[in-house]
Structure 1
């Protein structure tokens, strides 16, 4: 009898030990209740990690006694936790339902390479600015995307006017005309519109920003020598989403805006509306504005039609009206008199209509048709001079994506028409110019293995550009290749390169600074051509369960031949001609990210740029370009609760157009946001150490009646504080 009792005790103990040491979790999709494969589950405080199988079940063995927390994570889903006290007797797996995370899904899919792949499997190097960061930067500057780009590694927003604040984008140190700006794949911001483009793109409706650095003309044609910046809009989901923002700053800026979207089975919509008001602001009391008096308004509705599960039709129309007046603050407030007469007034109207058609076949191939028409009218006025013009731009692209086993093939063709018409100008000085482009392209993405991905492409463009003085026909053959190799789960590398070109334009940073006065029409100027590439290496790993570190080291090189340069003749007229001396840009970017317990996030970015224009006498360094830049950001966040951030930026010396060098400088910023359910309140202190150019030297020279202005190389408005409220429904 004793032996029987002893045997039973041993058996019960064994069962108890088994019950307390083994555990199973079944993970399902909350909406359709289907099992999810590949979900990562870890036990907090231990090194035990498991992944779900095709059945959705993950198993753990030898779990210590006591309270244990299981963390369930998967890309595209909201993180869940499960608290269990051991020992426990489990008769069936514990079920956990995961809800899809819209923000996460929008972050990881790349559309700029046309294949709609996840970023981890895209051979072309694409950087993304995610929804979380867009939301943070839009708190600082809800009016436009300039803050989002200015604080990104390797990108700078170059102010071109001391009084009106117009600006352009530089990538890898190259002028703004070499970067192509896109909104949902449409190029509506080049040439004449370039000086105001980043000031007229609001961030409120953006899901993410995709950046391809280096030659990208194979994908997008002319103008993508330095790279491409594609602003991706949010698309509606069945759950309605409404966002409203009210912002006020100490420099006199007020922003009021809203964005809403929703869809059902057959129809959907999204709408963005934003109004911005800026009072004339003179921080250094020299009677000239650092920020112009501004009124602008944007409205952007979209309609989505879903006739069936395979077809999507999107109709959109974006309208922006802007009025900006800078200069002598007495003239702005009270009008001209004998001692005050200088002003700079910019008025613009931009309207872009778009149509997208997508059809998926049975084999998940994709036919896409995109077409747009853009109208941009701008007027510039200063005392005794005005410049008015209209830019018409139309774009049509047809592509077909064929998916095969381990292969993706894209065939496409597009037509681009761009015409500038100057108003109220004598025929001999008219700057009218027209460009017509017809192109065809093919791109092949090959998954050679799980570790090696290869992408190659070819475009041929036939371009005609002309005005009253000359006409040119050119053909451009544009190959491109890029590769991704994954050494293991932690290490990977990308390398790529290609050719590019840029058709002639009068509208660059230098001509913007003097409002195109005494600028002669283009004559016998040919397109610029380039070649270049990038290479990088990436490292990402988890240290324990609380730390994550990622590093990216990228190198770049671009050479531009047949560059167009601005010259001045004996009669003080400006004109363009090609030069045989090239422009070269080379350097590297270093990015590091450290995350602790998902609450603390440290970002660091360093850029070294050595860009030279060999046609320049004496000093060949490209002007207004620092060789060294450093970005630092520390963020502490509890999701849907509060957020605190501290940022620091170092900018090295820069050469001005008079061959003098500027001083290096630091700038710092602070932000905080607190969430109360559907309402959040935010405050920001941008450049709170008050770094500004007028502390080094007067920006405005000469008399009030005939002033001249220095090159702009840092902040002119000084420190900025703003606060606001957001409502999310």
Structure 2
């Protein structure tokens, strides 16, 4: 590892030398207030949106894409209040947690389409590449009016770039010392009547065993994605979009000798994930002379996955159809949106060696309305109501339920520099067997749901936002408090070898706060500091009732120095407090650090990354693999498994 640290220091010295080159002056727009939010569907800027929305802009996304071009896990891992939770020690499957709650309580969207739930959830963030993203929008807390079930802890919307008249062609090649190679291409162009975007990405990962225990921390993987979208503009007020995203992947982890094709009586364990995801999207929008708009969104998604471990196979096809028809208008001081929403979701089980049918289907029909009212120059209020009717069926029961989901938000601009937001609402989650815990055991011996209740929630957030410029120094500060109560939580139980879910009468509560600070000096030096305090507890847990795998304290620190369109480098530090795994054992707290640098040569740029260069990983404390090699068990994952990663690459922009 020392040679990589020396290489980083050498690279840093070169970048400092390059800094002496003269560059053109450029004005950096650091006014986040001008970012237009899509997730609230009101076409408002952040400063005029009552709902608290965090954004990750294109510049930061590009930096994170340098580290992980294959997927968005790095983007979310380094965001305040969000935790990427790895669910498999050998295949690196992961989900995301917001405010300490399990991943199933967060809604993942791509351009507003919810195609990443249920059977697909354990692999979703590993199959969303960042190269075509314009921004990421995060709503923490209930967002039920527009997004319905599952939007309890929050919503993460990955917003794609749209074509522009200028056009764009980007190429990326990335290589890491842990055996990962990435090839990426993004192209877009808008003409008078037609436009297009095209994303193509290939990811090759060789199996990697960092601690020499004979088991892979990173699987042997072959994944590729192609996503073309075609746009038609019959006039300046109308557009039609048709797109199709296709992703195929093969992940092979486990015993290194088995992966290499040398299995024998002492080397038999493996875990394979073979997936195909195809999502077709259609969108139509028509605006009139008053700015009112009519929009239709439709998607059809197929996710086919097969999981194999020795003597066990689980496979199925998840089909999801999403339809949303809405009308938005502005009347005086009111911005109104209303619509209807239809979601059909079906999991068809193709194979399960446990001889249990986990197949299920649900149909959700919803109607919603939301009013954003500019009460005065200082006060903006937002209120919404959603009614959902859900038909749910599996092998054990067939139920029909209706939910009313009110939500309210308030924005108060005390001064031009200080504003406050308060919001809250109700939420629900349809019971599902596809959770982080069942994903970690490949759904082996999991029984179908029976006699369970729908999970219900109430929650809210309050935040203060302050922005001020003092000469060359710009300061931004945000202090947010959150609370969520979840009733009838679905709890995994074990009887013998069988795993089953029951609805607890005891509640789950998550409360805490987030502090975010941003300092910008002369547009070149940027310091970001974030702190998250999470107190997440479940009354149904005996003894220590802290939710497993939830750190009470987390710190994010990023220092960035940048000369626009010339070079930049950054240092990062992240602290994670102790956590409790599912058996109640406490884990150590830890720090991790990273370094990145990039230099532009006109249309070309080169970059290097030293991710986690202090080599913080779980196997430094205890072996993750337990038991005999032929039938191992694995500890819950609470830290990095792969450790230090050195990578570099080349980008070309037209």
Query: Shorter-chain TM-score: what band?
Result: over 0.9
Note the C-alpha offset of 1:664: 0.4
In 2, Cα distance between equivalents of 1:519 and 1:338: 28
Larger Rg: 1
In 1, Cα distance between equivalents of 2:126 and 2:354: 32
Note the C-alpha offset of 1:128: 0.2
* Structure 2 CA distance for partners of 1:145 and 1:426, relative to 1, 3 Å: closer
- What do residues 253-297 of structure 1 show as CA deviations (whole Å, max 9, x unaligned)? 000010000011100000000000000000100000000000000
Contact kept in structure 1, 2:90 and 2:216, CA below 8 Å: yes
Q: Secondary structure at the match of 1:164?
A: coil
1:79 maps to what in 2?
27
Note the C-alpha offset of 1:218: 1.5
Between 585-594 and 463-472, the greater mean CA deviation after superposition: 463-472
**1:696 paired residue among 616, 621, 624:** 621
**2:486 paired residue among 539, 554, 560:** 560
2:193 maps to what in 1?
266
* Structure 2 CA distance for partners of 1:694 and 1:191, relative to 1, 3 Å: same
1:662 maps to what in 2?
587
Contact kept in structure 2, 1:354 and 1:372, CA below 8 Å: yes
Please list, as runs of the form range in 1=range in 2, the aligned pairs for 1:89-488 lying within 5 A after superposition.
108-425=35-352, 429-488=356-415
1:683 maps to what in 2?
608
Q: Which runs of 5+ in 1 are unaligned?
A: 1-70, 73-77, 81-100
Q: Secondary structure at the match of 2:260?
A: helix
Contact kept in structure 2, 1:107 and 1:207, CA below 8 Å: no
2:630 maps to what in 1?
705
- What do residues 58-95 of structure 1 show as CA deviations (whole Å, max 9, x unaligned)? xxxxxxxxxxxxx99xxxxx739xxxxxxxxxxxxxxx
Q: Which runs of 5+ in 2 are unaligned?
A: 1-23
Please list, as runs of the form range in 1=range in 2, the aligned pairs for 1:501-540 lying within 5 A after superposition.
501-540=428-467
Mapped pair 1:549 → 2:475: yes
In 2, Cα distance between equivalents of 1:406 and 1:425: 56
**1:622 paired residue among 544, 547, 571:** 547
In 1, Cα distance between equivalents of 2:489 and 2:643: 36
Which structure carries more relative contact order (alpha carbon 8 Å, separation 6+)?
Answer: 2
In 1, Cα distance between equivalents of 2:56 and 2:366: 30
Contact kept in structure 2, 1:355 and 1:372, CA below 8 Å: yes
TM-score normalised to the size of structure 1? Answer: 0.85
Contact kept in structure 2, 1:107 and 1:208, CA below 8 Å: no
* Structure 2 CA distance for partners of 1:603 and 1:104, relative to 1, 3 Å: closer
Count of equivalent residues: 631
- What do residues 454-501 of structure 1 show as CA deviations (whole Å, max 9, x unaligned)? 111000000010112101111100000001111111100111000000
Contact kept in structure 2, 1:106 and 1:207, CA below 8 Å: no
- What do residues 291-347 of structure 1 show as CA deviations (whole Å, max 9, x unaligned)? 000000000000000001111100000000010010000000024211100000001
1:612 maps to what in 2?
537
Please list, as runs of the form range in 1=range in 2, the aligned pairs for 1:617-656 lying within 5 A after superposition.
617-656=542-581
Contact kept in structure 2, 1:646 and 1:671, CA below 8 Å: yes
Contact kept in structure 2, 1:107 and 1:128, CA below 8 Å: no
In 2, Cα distance between equivalents of 1:326 and 1:420: 25
Q: Secondary structure at the match of 1:616?
A: coil
Contact kept in structure 2, 1:163 and 1:292, CA below 8 Å: yes
Measured on the aligned residues, the alpha-carbon RMSD in Å equals 1.5
In 2, Cα distance between equivalents of 1:448 and 1:635: 40
1:575 maps to what in 2?
500
Q: Secondary structure at the match of 1:330?
A: helix
Note the C-alpha offset of 1:105: 9.8
Q: Secondary structure at the match of 2:47?
A: helix
Note the C-alpha offset of 1:526: 2.0
- What do residues 339-361 of structure 1 show as CA deviations (whole Å, max 9, x unaligned)? 10000000100000000000001
Note the C-alpha offset of 1:617: 1.0
Contact kept in structure 2, 1:107 and 1:131, CA below 8 Å: no
Between 199-208 and 107-116, the greater mean CA deviation after superposition: 107-116
In 1, Cα distance between equivalents of 2:382 and 2:224: 41
In 1, Cα distance between equivalents of 2:248 and 2:117: 17
1:588 maps to what in 2?
513
Note the C-alpha offset of 1:106: 11
Q: Secondary structure at the match of 1:148?
A: helix
Contact kept in structure 1, 2:106 and 2:155, CA below 8 Å: yes
Contact kept in structure 1, 2:617 and 2:642, CA below 8 Å: yes
In 1, Cα distance between equivalents of 2:152 and 2:388: 15
In 2, Cα distance between equivalents of 1:528 and 1:440: 20
Contact kept in structure 2, 1:218 and 1:441, CA below 8 Å: yes
